[in-house]
């Protein structure tokens, strides 16, 4: 249990904690856009300075494009366990910009929420960790555990090569468990511990035809249009049942355990309300499965964008020389992205319309993750969430990928704990992303409580 | 026959005529991009000044977005026929900009060609007309016919509402025939008179799903992805034979006359070389038909661009709220764009995947055109081309649309003559558009000769 002094400190410092979050939200640290590289670096340096002021030994490690922050501060207790706290300072692109009610990098507080790109994913959640540490140090003069902070700058582009980074820096990152704050509550008022994540294979499928763009009047009818050909290829990737029609795609998908299905049916989730909130009919994905099963326990294939031809205002009568689809596949259970990408390539090889040439470039891959529900760290995290929010957390899976989670297990041999503070309607990756202030303040309490709980365990 | 004096004048003034063409090519008069509106207007004003200096009565008539120039100069002979000369000062967009060897609006002369957007389509060809008029006036002190110049600024966006303009200004545009210089030779050294043009229906098909962009990890599998749905719709618009699979699409297409097919088979056209030049296998369009038949006498449906999701550098895991395809259909014979658009809408209504909403917006429409080969004006034009280039012109159709041609017939009741000076490899609508200097200088001779020939006819 947290002390009254600590809770009072957090209450008193809310306004300052909010102001400090707004500062880091001003950096347009969009990792996928190279013209933002300088601003991403400035964001990392700002973060390093914030952590340095807490007495941490901080270093920005240069990596592929954006540096990775590692910071450490040990507590005075010699046999204390070490907790790695993970977040990321990079954010998604902001387009379509015209749908934002306030500029994405001019954070605005309204309706008891902070609106900005990265407010929830993940700067706001990362700041829950940092402010919890600040409060523990301010009130108690020490931390209950040794703390390693790890903040990545390329999570939104699939954490390329981060496995190599973790391997090379494993010595700096030794810990017993990792608190990852980059996920959501199941619903307002109902915190969640995420014990399963889907994996990811993200690739670009390029279809090439003529060597240059052609006038569609002069040459239309005589050449195969790469955009039409790409559409045909994409259309053939799902069958009439909504299943992915790529040979071998489902080979390593295990059937869902009945226990898990029943558990999810007990969650306060209404398919009809979910559809209303998104503004859709519920016709997506595989027929005959519960929505939560489709989102958490089944793999998918989605087109995320098509580049080619004319995309500006008005019209242009062009047959493009080539067209590229950005495609993401979410993976579950024993699916391995390497194998799925191979199946995809083989499908493309067999189904490319005559007259066109197709190629596949892999952008990023991440394996799916499952985490044990039986460890003492898991119990510490559950207790902390209940203490902070007054409710036992739901035990859920998540459809999205947090690629580093699986690497923490496999490379660093530590127990990952996905303890996130977003809400389902935060608008991640969308216009008007926001983070509820109560989630921010509650998240700080929860992290402080988790560190205290873990501090009571022996290493 | 043109006089020796006139030919000598044209020879002597080549360098100046080139320099003056370069001047107008510097204006980025991209009619489809509203941020270029001021520069398009400056282009129109420059053109007006050029024509005014030739003693024409010039007016820029404000129209939808870009003004239309009408200029008139009568000759002294009272019963002379009137020739309308048509060109357009607007140009296509320039992307992908990185594929241009020199900037599209910094005209560069190399390899005996002018490289710039609009060099061939259509500023270069329009200047053939203007420089022919200049030469006739300079050498002969008068024109052989009354001349009306009409220069449009919205041809590249389908000449919207130009029918209303022609109707409203029919009095100013009375003439016996129109020389339209906005087409190509059949091959280098082989001029062509185009007597058939395909029509056009250009539209935007928008497919909408969720009310906002969604994270494809969190929601993938539970909603229908508008991009995947759009791909499915597009894929269903062609059958396995390469025919357009929209009900009613071919209802008004007449079979090709055997005489025409044989005539085209006699043209110096090699399907294999054509494919090599474009860098494609010849697998496009309907199976079993000659390439020229597919390009000139059969309708098509092409996707010209898809907007939706993430199109920037790198990756973004998004299910877009909506996706839009730009689609152009080329039409022949008795097809009417209004009816074809209705068939398209009906097809979309019947085939939109459940869970998505689709809508169709028409961007522009033009009817197909056929022109009589038996008029005295047609013979005058043929003779002029033979005089200027030393070869009888081929009689061809063209796959592209010049929407105003059909309006000249129907609204102004005059005989359109498509006498163009481009070459097939000019790169219209593509990067590195260019115009061969010999085509420019020869085109000036041909227009002068055509005006002389028509001047010998009575009104």
Q: Which two tokens stand for residue A238?
A: 């799902």
- pLDDT of B282 strictly over 80: no
B224 touches chain A (CB under 8 A): yes
Query: For an interface test with A, which of B96, B120, B208, B217 has the most A Cβ atoms less than 10 Å from its Cβ?
Result: B217
Contact flag B308-A308 (C-beta cutoff 8 Å)? no
B215 touches chain A (CB under 8 A): yes
DSSP code of B295?
H
Q: What is the tens place of the pLDDT at every residue in B365-403?
A: 989 999 988 899 999 999 999 999 999 999 999 998 887
A34 touches chain B (CB under 8 A): yes
A340 & A442 share domain: no
| Residue A343 falls inside a structural domain | yes
Confidence class of residue B458 from pLDDT cuts 50, 70 and 90? confident
Q: pLDDT at position A58, please?
A: 98
Final residue of a domain: which of B350, B366, B382?
B366
- pLDDT of A241 strictly over 80: yes
User: In Å, what is the CA distance from B341 to each residue of A25, B379, B409?
Assistant: 48, 37, 23
Q: What is the tens place of the pLDDT at every residue in A190-235?
A: 999 999 999 999 999 999 999 999 989 989 999 999 999 999 999 9
Q: Which two tokens stand for residue A240?
A: 């009439």
**Furthest-apart CA atoms within chain A: distance in Å:** 79
Q: Judged by CB atoms within 8 Å, which residues 187-206 of B form the interface with A?
A: 198, 200, 202
Summarize the confidence of residues A64-73 as an average pLDDT.
Answer: 97
Radius of gyration of chain A (CA): 23
Domain count for chain A: 2
When CB atoms are compared, the residue of B215, B218, B429 closest to A316 is B429
Pairing of strands A68-73, A146-152: antiparallel
Confidence class of residue A307 from pLDDT cuts 50, 70 and 90? very high
Q: Which two tokens stand for residue B116?
A: 């710039």
Q: Which two tokens stand for residue B24?
A: 């107008």
A204 & A191 share domain: no
B13 & B154 share domain: yes
| Residue A279 falls inside a structural domain | no
Burial A398-418 (b: 16+ CB within 10 A, else e): bbbbbbbbbbbbebbebbbbb
Q: What angle do CA A392, A397, A402 make, to 5 degrees?
A: 115
Provide the H-helix boundaries in B156-313: 162-168, 226-235, 258-265, 271-278, 291-296
CA distance A312 to B307: 8
Residue B304, φ and ψ in degrees, nearest 5: -105, -5
Q: What is the tens place of the pLDDT at every residue in B168-223?
A: 999 999 999 999 999 899 999 999 999 999 999 999 999 999 999 998 998 999 99
Pairing of strands B300-307, B177-180: unpaired
A321 & A386 share domain: no
Q: Which domain holds residue B223?
A: 199-253+299-366
Q: What is the tens place of the pLDDT at every residue in B121-164?
A: 999 999 999 999 999 999 999 999 999 999 999 999 888 889 99
Which residues does B282 contact at the CB level (< 8 Å), separation at least 6?
Answer: A222, A223, A355, B271, B272, B274, B275, B291
Summarize the confidence of residues B256-275 as an average pLDDT.
Answer: 93
pTM of this structure: 0.81
CA distance B85 to B177: 9
Query: Rounded to a whole number, what is the distance in angstroms from the first to the last CA of chain B?
Result: 20
Summarize the confidence of residues B21-44 as an average pLDDT.
Answer: 97
Chain B nearest CA to A95, separation (Å): 8
A309 & A226 share domain: yes
- Report whether A309 contacts A318 (CB < 8 A): yes
Alpha-carbon dihedral of residues B77, B82, B84, B85, nearest 10 degrees? Answer: -30
Q: pLDDT at position A219, please?
A: 93
Q: What angle do CA B317, B320, B324 make, to 5 degrees?
A: 135
Q: Give the residue with greater pLDDT, A162 vs B1.
A: A162
When CB atoms are compared, the residue of A230, A231, A326 closest to B315 is A326
Alpha-carbon dihedral of residues B454, B441, B180, B422, nearest 10 degrees? Answer: 140
Q: Which of B160, B152, B199 is nearest to B178 (CA)?
A: B152
Q: Judged by CB atoms within 8 Å, which residues 427-446 of B form the interface with A?
A: 427-431
- Report whether A191 contacts A389 (CB < 8 A): yes
Instruction: Report the percentage of chain B scoring pLDDT > 70.
Output: 100
Confidence class of residue A158 from pLDDT cuts 50, 70 and 90? confident
Count Cβ atoms below 10 Å from residue B267 Cβ, excluding itself.
15
A96 & A143 share domain: yes
Summarize the confidence of residues B237-255 as an average pLDDT.
Answer: 96
When CB atoms are compared, the residue of B224, B286, B429 closest to A318 is B429
Q: What is the CATH number of the domain that holds A430?
A: 3.40.630.10
Q: pLDDT at position A199, please?
A: 94
Provide the H-helix boundaries in A33-92: 37-52
| Residue A292 falls inside a structural domain | no
Contact flag A326-B303 (C-beta cutoff 8 Å)? no
Summarize the confidence of residues B288-311 as an average pLDDT.
Answer: 95
| Residue A264 falls inside a structural domain | no
- pLDDT of A104 strictly over 90: yes
Summarize the confidence of residues B21-32 as an average pLDDT.
Answer: 97
Q: Judged by CB atoms within 8 Å, which residues 271-330 of A form the interface with B?
A: 274, 278-286, 291, 294-295, 298, 300, 302-320, 323, 326, 328, 330
Give the DSSP per-residue string, B348-361: HHHHPPTT-EEEEE
The interface predicted TM-score (ipTM) is: 0.81
Final residue of a domain: which of B366, B386, B412?
B366
Q: What is the CATH number of the domain that holds B237?
A: 3.30.70.360
């Amino acid at each position: 249990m947290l002390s009254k002094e600590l809770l009072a400190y957090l209450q008193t410092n809310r306004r300052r904690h909010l102001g400090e979050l707004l500062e880091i939200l001003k950096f347009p640290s969009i990792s996928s856009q190279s013209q933002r590289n300088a601003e991403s670096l400035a964001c990392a340096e700002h973060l390093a300075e914030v952590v340095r002021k807490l007495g941490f030994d901080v270093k920005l490690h240069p990596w592929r494009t954006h540096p990775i922050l590692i910071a450490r501060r040990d507590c005075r207790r010699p046999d204390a366990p070490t907790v790695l706290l993970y977040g990321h300072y990079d954010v998604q692109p902001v387009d379509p910009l015209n749908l934002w009610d306030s500029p994405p990098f001019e954070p605005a507080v309204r309706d008891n929420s902070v609106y900005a790109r990265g407010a929830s994913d993940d700067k706001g959640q990362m700041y829950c960790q940092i402010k919890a540490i600040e409060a523990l140090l301010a009130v108690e003069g020490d931390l209950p555990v040794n703390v390693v902070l790890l903040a990545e700058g390329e999570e939104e582009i699939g954490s390329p090569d981060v496995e190599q980074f973790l391997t090379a820096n494993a010595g700096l990152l030794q810990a017993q468990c990792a608190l990852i704050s980059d996920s959501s509550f199941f619903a307002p008022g109902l915190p969640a511990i995420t014990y399963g994540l889907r994996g990811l294979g993200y690739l670009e499928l390029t279809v090439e035809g003529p060597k240059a763009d052609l006038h569609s009047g002069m040459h239309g009818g005589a050449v195969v249009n790469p955009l039409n050909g790409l559409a045909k290829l994409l259309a053939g990737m799902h069958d009439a049942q909504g299943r992915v029609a790529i040979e071998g795609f489902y080979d390593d998908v295990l059937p869902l355990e009945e226990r898990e299905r029943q558990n999810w049916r007990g969650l306060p989730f209404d398919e009809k309300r979910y559809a209303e909130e998104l503004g859709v009919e519920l016709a997506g994905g595989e027929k005959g499965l519960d929505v939560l099963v489709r989102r958490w326990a089944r793999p998918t294939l989605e087109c995320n964008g098509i580049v080619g031809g004319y995309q500006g205002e008005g019209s242009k009568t062009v047959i493009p020389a080539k067209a590229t689809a950005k495609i993401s596949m979410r993976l579950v259970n024993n699916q391995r992205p390497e194998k799925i990408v191979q199946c995809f390539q083989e499908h493309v090889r067999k189904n490319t319309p005559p007259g066109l040439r197709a190629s596949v470039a892999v952008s990023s891959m991440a394996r799916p993750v499952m985490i044990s529900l039986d460890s003492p760290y898991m119990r510490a995290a559950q207790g902390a969430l209940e203490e902070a929010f007054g409710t036992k957390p739901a035990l859920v899976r998540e459809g999205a990928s947090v690629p580093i989670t699986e690497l923490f297990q496999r490379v660093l041999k530590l127990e990952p704990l996905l303890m996130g503070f977003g809400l389902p309607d935060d608008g991640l990756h969308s216009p008007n992303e926001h983070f509820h202030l109560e989630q921010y303040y509650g998240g700080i309490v929860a992290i402080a409580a988790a560190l205290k709980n873990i501090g009571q365990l022996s290493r």
